[in-house]
Structure 1
Amino acid sequence: MTTATTALQAMTPHELAKIVFNQERLFILDVRNQSDFDDWKIEGHNIEIINIPYFDLMDGVDPALERIPEGEKVLVVCAKEGSSIFVAEQIVEAGRSEVFYLQGGMKAWSEHLEPVKVGDLRNGGELYQFVRIGKGCLSYMVISQGEAVVIDTLRMTDVYEAFAKEHKATIKHTIDTHLHADHISGGKKLADQVGATYWLPEKDATEVTFSYEKLEDGKAIKAGNTDITILPIYSPGHTIGSTSFIIDDQYLLTGDILFVESIGRPDLAGLAEDWVGDLRHTLYSRYKELSPDLIVLPAHFGKITELGKGGQVSTRLGDLYQHNPGLLIQDETEFRRTVTEKLPPQPNAYQEIRQTNMGKIKPNEEEQREMEIGPNRCAVHDR
């Protein structure tokens, strides 16, 4: 006997990420509370999404059926999956086909990392970007000659371990471009787990409670025994210690200083007025000295429009100086006003996240998950 339960299908975060990356059509019914929906939702080029809170559907799903187009693939989402299964089963019972619920709900979506190959490096190395599609975080892995380096590691460290093992590589270094305030870093944790060296900018580490290696301007960190060199460049502004990396003379990892459609905010340590001059110097002078052909790879994206082919977030540095709004403010007073006054809300629990990344507090796994719920808000020009 066919039941609603057997007809209902689960969609994994990986499957949903591929739909977003490939710009496929999908209709989403989000049954979370309106405030949660307004704060943060699933986005995509061909995704249509509506919000009807679960409590408005407990007595029947007719209000949803009236708004779901016939013949559409439908995904029902909630915070943890339970409510979405309840609603989706009723939609199936009403005769709709191709009905899915998001496995693990928005919590699983927030934590999912999708690896995307950026390109091949000289002498056989590879560079990968890990897209945290639900939160807009980006991290990187360089693999060369059986050695790996992870940059801006997220707290889901098992993903990097598994990926390195799959590619027959040993993680030798983990690096944070700066002290993060929107998500919990997994850099130190991963380094300890695999016996790697953890690197952090010294100027961001004045209050950290653990050991680390100091990133220094111009000091290369090797990956493998080839000439693939990860070269740190001091580039303050988002934080006082923010450091960028040039990899293989091809790629510029900008951390949270420069994004595809925006620039980094200087206020997450409460020092916007102090750091705005550093930010302008990095963006308008330091980066301008670099080759315009470098491919910029940021640590975050703020809008789904920043995802390119296959889900990759990248663009040529020279093109950013033509199109990025944050790089086109010639008047210094206007620039200062923009990056200190015209800011989006600060990230959820950002003070607690900074304290965690310093090692001062040690929240458990569930507390860390709750601290990170919601979008990143590291940019000046954001959602």
Structure 2
Amino acid sequence: MTARRTQKVSAKEVTKRILNHEDLFILDVRNESDFSDWKIEGNSVEIINIPYFDLLDDMRPALDKIPADKEIVVVCAKEGSSIFVAEQLAEAGLNHVSYLEGGMKSWSEHLEPVKVSDLSGGGELYQFVRIGKGCLSYMVLSNGEAAIIDTSRMIDQYEQFMQENSVKLVHTIDTHLHADHISGGRALAQMYAASYHLPPKDAQEVTFAYEELAEGKDITVGQETIKVQPIYTPGHTIGSTSFIIDNTYILTGDILFIESIGRPDLAGIAEDWAGDLRDTLYGRYKELSEELIVLPAHFGKITELGEGGLVSGRLGTLFSENPGLNIEDESEFRRTVTESLPPQPHSYQEIRKANRGEITPNKEEQREMEMGPNRCAVHDK
């Protein structure tokens, strides 16, 4: 009798299925608390959780809940447990069983490039969707040059994309000092002898040299006047900076998301920054064109992913529909952004230290520091 075989499926393949709205049935075998905190989500995803230790001696708890006519993807933290469960399910007679290669660690690290648009100067703008973490980064391409905004630490994936598009990196830019993920901007800039840019008000304790972002100081990419224009917009951090690209797109960092707004409490001075956040959202952003397309640095819910996975929204529409932009009473706004917030990001203090250059965690330590969902928004509970 021929043994039934299982197959591995990559995080990229699972991402494509979710973005294409293909039916996906997932058996997550992590413990209940980890599953409740963070899981694979999608409009076409059906997922159940049965801890690995409940299946060691008997697969019936899983077999009773799994549809026999669907492909099953088994998921665990790192991969090993899911291989065992997938093999046992195949031996029990299921015909379409696979496991997520690299487990939730690989899910957390995959970047999916999504084209935003061609730009008027002949270049292109891409959004990199880190679907397992909720992080969004951006790449501007023009005349053989590239700039990356809010780079994740998985710099090899940006390198591959740049090689495929025959461009050289000239700038990396962080909209602010991140607290939920380790920035790859400085490391990538060093590899390519590119310039690394950071808001000076967020960089007072950094241990390295950088280019200061300043309002009105354009950052040019390529030879065709594709410019990234900083707009100083404090609130999430004291130095948070937004960028307008091609007079069409506004990169809002962690100040403004599609369905929520940034939280001001990750430096321990929420009361001080709540006013800055309100001034930015209800003042500076209100003065901008409502036709600008908002491109944030994070998304909180899978529902924020649009066609092809793109996370974006017209600024005028957000002023109508985003709850965080519709709190008229200032006292109520302050309460909203300082009280009853979701848990703070995992290891966020250590992540801030790493982004300041104060500590240098190795690759595995960086993975552990970042595990879990995005928690940079006020309304993501």
TM over 0.5: yes
Q: Deviations over 1:310-349 (max 9, x none)?
A: 0110011110001000000011010000000031000000
Q: Residue 3 of structure 1 aligns to a residue in which SS?
A: coil
Q: Partner amino acid for 1:125? A: G
Q: Residue 48 of structure 2 aligns to a residue in which SS?
A: strand
User: What is the CA-CA distance between 1:274 and the residue it aligns to?
Assistant: 0.4
TM-score normalized with structure 2 length? 0.99
Q: How many pairs align?
A: 381
Corresponding position: 1:353 with 2:351: yes
User: What is the CA-CA distance between 1:117 and the residue it aligns to?
Assistant: 0.5
Unaligned runs of 5+ in 1: none
Corresponding position: 1:65 with 2:63: yes
Counterparts of 1:342-381 in structure 2, within 5 Å, are: 342-381=340-379
**Cα distance in 1 for residues equivalent to 2:105 and 2:324:** 32
**Cα distance in 1 for residues equivalent to 2:166 and 2:65:** 49
Corresponding position: 1:210 with 2:208: yes
**Cα distance in 2 for residues equivalent to 1:370 and 1:281:** 35
Q: Partner amino acid for 2:350? A: E
Match of 1:3 in 2: 3
**Cα distance in 1 for residues equivalent to 2:2 and 2:79:** 22
1:46 to 23, 44, 47: 44
User: What is the CA-CA distance between 1:219 and the residue it aligns to?
Assistant: 1.0
Q: Residue 212 of structure 2 aligns to a residue in which SS?
A: strand
User: What is the CA-CA distance between 1:42 and the residue it aligns to?
Assistant: 0.4
Unaligned runs of 5+ in 2: none
Counterparts of 1:315-334 in structure 2, within 5 Å, are: 315-334=313-332
Q: Deviations over 1:134-158 (max 9, x none)?
A: 0000000000011100000010111
User: What is the CA-CA distance between 1:215 and the residue it aligns to?
Assistant: 0.1
Counterparts of 1:1-383 in structure 2, within 5 Å, are: 2-4=2-4, 7-383=5-381
Q: Residue 285 of structure 2 aligns to a residue in which SS?
A: helix
Q: Partner amino acid for 1:258? A: L
**Cα distance in 2 for residues equivalent to 1:195 and 1:338:** 43
Q: Residue 121 of structure 2 aligns to a residue in which SS?
A: helix
Q: Residue 84 of structure 1 aligns to a residue in which SS?
A: helix
**Cα distance in 2 for residues equivalent to 1:8 and 1:150:** 38
TM-score normalized with structure 1 length? 0.98
User: What is the CA-CA distance between 1:97 and the residue it aligns to?
Assistant: 1.6
**Cα distance in 2 for residues equivalent to 1:54 and 1:295:** 44
User: What is the CA-CA distance between 1:124 and the residue it aligns to?
Assistant: 1.3
User: What is the CA-CA distance between 1:165 and the residue it aligns to?
Assistant: 1.4
**Cα distance in 2 for residues equivalent to 1:100 and 1:290:** 49
Q: Partner amino acid for 1:166? A: E
Q: Residue 49 of structure 1 aligns to a residue in which SS?
A: strand
Q: Partner amino acid for 1:230? A: V
Q: Deviations over 1:148-174 (max 9, x none)?
A: 000000101111111111111100000
After the TM superposition, which segments of 4 or more aligned residues of structure 1 sit over 3 Å from their partners?
A: none
Q: Partner amino acid for 2:28? A: D
Q: Deviations over 1:66-95 (max 9, x none)?
A: 001221121100011110010011111111
Q: Residue 28 of structure 1 aligns to a residue in which SS?
A: strand
**Cα distance in 2 for residues equivalent to 1:55 and 1:215:** 51
User: What is the CA-CA distance between 1:289 and the residue it aligns to?
Assistant: 0.8
Q: Residue 70 of structure 1 aligns to a residue in which SS?
A: coil
**Cα distance in 2 for residues equivalent to 1:202 and 1:246:** 19
**Cα distance in 2 for residues equivalent to 1:294 and 1:98:** 46
Q: Partner amino acid for 1:297? A: L
Q: Deviations over 1:16-47 (max 9, x none)?
A: 00111112111110001111111110000011
User: What is the CA-CA distance between 1:123 and the residue it aligns to?
Assistant: 2.4
**Cα distance in 2 for residues equivalent to 1:329 and 1:20:** 34
